[in-house]
């Protein structure tokens, strides 16, 4: 009886690997497309002539896949982890987006060209797979950091190399054992993924139902970062009256797929307020199926923002 050979991984060689700097750009039209992809209705995010028109705070999470093109980008070329010392070649077909952290470091301009500087910050053994943490910092022309994002990918079948286990993320709050302080329901549209993908994520899984069916799903699924952004919008509306300057960070773990047309239910709890920050726990579900799609959700707001509670 043969046994599967463990994946060869050199964690010390891989962690700290720096990717080539990546050039990206966006304009107000891109901000409007992103807002439409999240089903936003607040004029401050959806109408360029509105007083105090602003980028929705989570917009930069689309830039690593968008790049600096005005045309359709190649998902296969931009989504890969590249040739990383100490790691085997990553098969995109076995790569799943597991967790996402995003932090806004400074107000976002309405348009411009920027640099993305990325580092592989973690390689973890999850038994049935390998977890890769990639940190990306967005900087303007002067070198000022505007946003930080950590994308955590799960590589199916690549575990068992006796590597370290991933620690619990910092600044994550647990859901209280009481009813939510606020609940928002957002009905997605049948073409939600087709609109959201125009922001730069052209993964065929979100457009071609035949691919989803081959993978055992009902068809094309909604982008995880789409309902991640929708969840952020629900928290900002419920606890900060849609004030973008109140937003600091968001973390979430993707637990299950969402199909376009389903209703998202974002359950939110104000857990703590300390050191000038307000901590909001959230869980996002699909209402029709009562299935959790984002777990361990935490949004941090700057205190002083007006609350509806």
CA distance 290 to 127: 29
According to DSSP, the β-strands at 277-286 and 291-302 are antiparallel
3-state SS, residue 249: strand
Q: How many residues does the chain have?
A: 309
Question: SS3 for 150-204, per residue?
Answer: EEEEEEECCCCCCCCCCCCCCCCCCCCCCCCCEEEEEECCCCHHHHHHHHCCCCH
Kindly provide the b/e burial profile for residues 219-234, where b requires at least 16 CB atoms within 10 angstroms of the residue's own CB: ebbbbbbbbbbbbbbb
CA distance 271 to 283: 13
> Which residue in 153, 172, 175, 176 sits closest to 251, CA to CA?
172
| Residues recognised as catalytic | 201, 206, 221, 224
> Which residue in 236, 152, 243 sits closest to 186, CA to CA?
236
Q: Which two tokens stand for residue 12?
A: 């010390």
């Amino acid at each position: 009886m043969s046994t599967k050979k463990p994946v060869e991984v050199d964690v010390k060689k891989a962690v700290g690997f720096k990717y080539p700097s990546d050039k990206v750009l966006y304009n107000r039209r891109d901000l409007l497309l992103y807002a439409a992809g999240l089903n936003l209705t607040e004029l401050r995010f959806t109408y360029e002539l509105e007083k105090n028109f602003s980028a929705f705070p989570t917009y930069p999470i689309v830039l690593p896949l968008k790049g600096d093109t005005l045309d359709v980008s190649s998902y296969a070329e931009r989504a890969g982890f590249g040739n990383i010392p100490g790691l085997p070649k990553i098969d995109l077909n076995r790569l799943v987006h597991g967790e996402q952290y995003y932090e806004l470091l400074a107000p976002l301009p309405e348009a411009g060209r920027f640099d993305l500087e990325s580092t592989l910050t973690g390689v973890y053994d999850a038994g049935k797979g390998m977890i890769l943490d990639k940190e990306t910092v967005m900087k303007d022309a002067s070198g000022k950091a505007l946003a930080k994002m950590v994308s955590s990918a799960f590589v199916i079948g690549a575990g068992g190399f006796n590597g370290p286990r991933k620690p619990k993320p910092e600044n994550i709050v647990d859901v209280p054992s009481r009813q939510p302080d606020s609940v928002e329901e957002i009905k997605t549209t049948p073409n939600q993924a087709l609109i959201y993908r125009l922001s730069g994520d052209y993964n065929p899984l979100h457009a071609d139902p035949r691919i989803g069916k081959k993978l055992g799903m009902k068809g094309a699924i909604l982008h995880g970062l789409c309902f991640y952004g929708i969840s952020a919008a629900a928290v900002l509306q419920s606890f900060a009256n849609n004030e973008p300057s109140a937003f600091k960070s968001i973390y979430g773990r993707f637990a299950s797929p969402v199909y376009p047309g389903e209703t998202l239910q974002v359950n939110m709890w104000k857990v703590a307020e300390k050191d000038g920050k307000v901590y909001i726990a959230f869980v996002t579900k699909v209402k029709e199926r009562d299935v959790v799609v984002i777990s361990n959700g935490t949004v941090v707001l700057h205190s002083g923002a007006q609350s509806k509670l």
